[in-house]
A and B are shown apart, each in its own frame.
Chain A
Amino acid sequence: MKEMILSVNPHIHDNSSTRSVMREVIIALIPAIIAALYFFRIKAFVVISSCVISCVVFEYLYQKTCKKNITVKDLSAVVTGILLALIMPPALPVWVCILASAVAIILTKQIFGGIGCNIFNPALLGRAFLMAAFPTMLTSWNNPITLDVVTTATPLGLHKFTQVLTGYEPLFFGNVSGSIGETSALALLIGAAYLLIKKIINIRIPFAYIATVFIISSITNKIDPEIYAPALFNLLAGGLMLGAFFMATDYVTTPITKKGQWVFGIGCGIVTMIIRLWGGLPEGVMYSILFMNGFTPLINRVTMPKRYGTGDRE
């Protein structure tokens, strides 16, 4: 008889893997990619392909130079590339996409030790970097389909600076200006439903996040409907759907405890609304998630589950 395999229990596995998880996320992003291509045409294509390709290449090159295991096969760099592209304005030059990818993959992810070790969401930090370095480039938008160039004219921007409310129908389907992948709530919700059904993500963070935004904006809208937009508008405009379902649910940079996930979602909602209502920027999703990423280790520490068979952790 040949040698037997002698590993420790359990001897079966649900057959998931990092790669399979990433593959599901990519599938879930397909509706948003299609919407991006439909509304922003060739520009979306250029942004998405340059981000994805450069993310994968940077990951490969970094690991090769540092003589580490090459892990591009796990598809996580592809996911980062897609997410990064989806939060970019349509008219971004290719070299800016490449730069943002370098920040996302090398500075945010690999320097900290690669997948699982980074503190901040790579795609979001890549964009935050561009926001600081090239603010004008990141605030010039294109109208969907016609691709006319407009300045500060996302629905949130329009409302913040001119009190103009965009209609719900275009907001829901995505026929508005904005980052290429954030405009279609419909496409994002289809993807989100897929991730929930496949149990890749759980509802805790997105639900807490969206509910918090809803509650705060309902209250402020009651107080002064002239200045503060209605709740539904706050849910559909800007990057909330993309952020809540695809960024705030990133495994690596969010809490592992159940209670912590609730806290994280509520925190994101509060910070988003503070920025939207009183900040200098029209949109706060990106910064709120990055801000809460920074608190993740602390949240984990203070939300340890109760020890079984005792009243508490003692």
Chain B
Amino acid sequence: MNDKSTFPGGVHPGSSKNLTKDLSIKTVEAGDVVVLPLIQHIGNPAKAIVKIGDLVKRGQLVAEQNGFISSNIYSSVSGKVSGIKAYAHPILGTSQAIIIENDHKNDAAEPIHKRSLEDLSEEDIVNIIKTAGIVGMGGAAFPSYVKAMVKENNQIDTLVINAVECEPYLTCDYRSMLEKTKEIIEGIRLLNKAVKAKNVYVAIEDNKPVAIQQIKGYLYDKGATDIEIKVLKTKYPQGGEKQILKAILDREVPPSKLPLDVGCIVQNVGTCLAVYEAIVEGKPLIERVITITGKCVKRPGNYRVPIGTLLQDIIDNACRGFSEEPAKIISGGPMMGMAQYTLDVPVIKGMSGIICLTEKEAVSEREGACLNCGKCVDVCPMNLLPTRIARAVKFDKIIEADKLFITDCMECGSCTYKCPAHIPLVHYIKIGKQKLRKIQISKK
């Protein structure tokens, strides 16, 4: 397929990736403490299995998966458990976390498995992914083993590897693809040993020609035909699961359904790398690549950091601080990420980047009156009428907002990005969703 496909709607926010896209990944040591929130994934919080005062090794299980949708958590350093208490959390505000005093000895625990690759059945692969505590590394942080575990009645024909990275500023996936091509491709193959999809696609935007060449080179040098690269148009939110599937397969995931329901599984490239390391190296998920960037960061870059490292430590040590005081710190991308109230917050499994904006870059204009221009409608990838939903929420007409399918909104931010009246549409939509949930609960 030569003509590049895409999805309807969307915006072109400009990439801002130049700050970090040519900087190779550097490994960063953790600071004197690491903070491991018990919830770093969608689902139930993990259950702590260590006590205050316990000595732990790097790669030792410290909190156990609790329920079907949950995930194991490992210590990313060796040292002593100094507390189990509420701590700042990049998404939830605060959450219970295990605090570990780093002894900087990096004493490693036993690998999570020692079996040879040939012996592994598909079930073993799913189990290793589960044991390693791997979750979606693109931000959603859904436990990966659940997706890999194909249920009888679901006919999965397609595995899509999300290498789109459509959020401006972020380059961690891009750098991983350049520097860990082999590991990622082998990770995809291991994953597909469990999934057994007929078609395996790597979806990537056309603004990353070097990565495309590199992956093609690796695959075609060996004459492989099991994985196909799908080059997509550069447009935000091309990396949304529903948008990728629309673009490459022209399949639409029905409301409140999953890609699984249309025969697909979507996994992020970072996840594939983690799968490789877990299966081939026996390594649990204790570190990840993260982009730290922004004009005010002295040394922006792509860093491989232990999970649980405090942002302040990374900024001070690896990034050499700020050249100008930032006014806004965002965890994730600038379109969907979450503003942080402090830097005293740990890196978690699903954190793909930290973006620091100066006062000038961050301050937005005051909300004006809706002009009815329809730009929000034009760009909404979910075919919604954002202006109408926001107005319904503003006047507290939650049922009307529901009838306008407020719950379909993926909060991609395209509408607000375009709105000339600077109406915080996503803000209203979030409020509306919360209120709707309350109404639905009280009805039950």
Contacts and interface: CB of A to CB of B under 8 A. Distances in A.
Interface of A: 1-2, 4-14, 16-18, 20-21, 71, 74, 113-117, 202, 251-258, 261, 304-310
A9 B426 contact: yes
Contact of B372 (A4, A13, A116): A116
B334 A10 contact: yes
| Closest 6 A/B residue pairs (Cβ) | A10-B413, A256-B374, A251-B373, A309-B254, A305-B383, A116-B369
B182 interface: no
Contacts of B255: 307-310
A256 B385 contact: yes
A168 B381 CA distance: 44
B23 interface: no
B369 A13 contact: no
A310 B254 contact: yes
B94 to A, nearest CB: 14
Interface in B366-420: 368-374, 377-378, 381-385, 387, 405, 408, 411, 413-414, 416-418, 420
A110 to B, nearest CB: 12
Contacts of A21: 371, 373, 420
Interface residues of B, number: 62
A6 B357 CA distance: 12
Contact of A10 (B329, B377, B417): B417
A165 B159 CA distance: 66
Contacts of B330: 9, 11
Contacts of B257: 309
Contact of B420 (A4, A17, A117): A17
Contact of A309 (B168, B242, B328, B422): B242
8 contacts: A1-B343, A4-B326, A8-B424, A8-B426, A9-B337, A14-B11, A14-B417, A308-B252
A16 B328 contact: no
Given A4-B329, A7-B328, A11-B335, 10 more contacts: A6-B339, A9-B411, A9-B413, A11-B362, A12-B334, A13-B364, A256-B372, A307-B383, A309-B254, A310-B252
Contact of A202 (B168, B339, B378, B418): B378
A149 B267 CA distance: 75
B377 A14 contact: no
B363 interface: yes
A10 B426 contact: yes
Contacts of A252: 371-372
B343 A18 contact: no
B371 A116 contact: yes
Given A9-B335, A14-B11, A21-B420, A257 B385 contact: yes
> Max chain B CB contacts within 10 Å: which of A18, A202, A252, A253?
A18
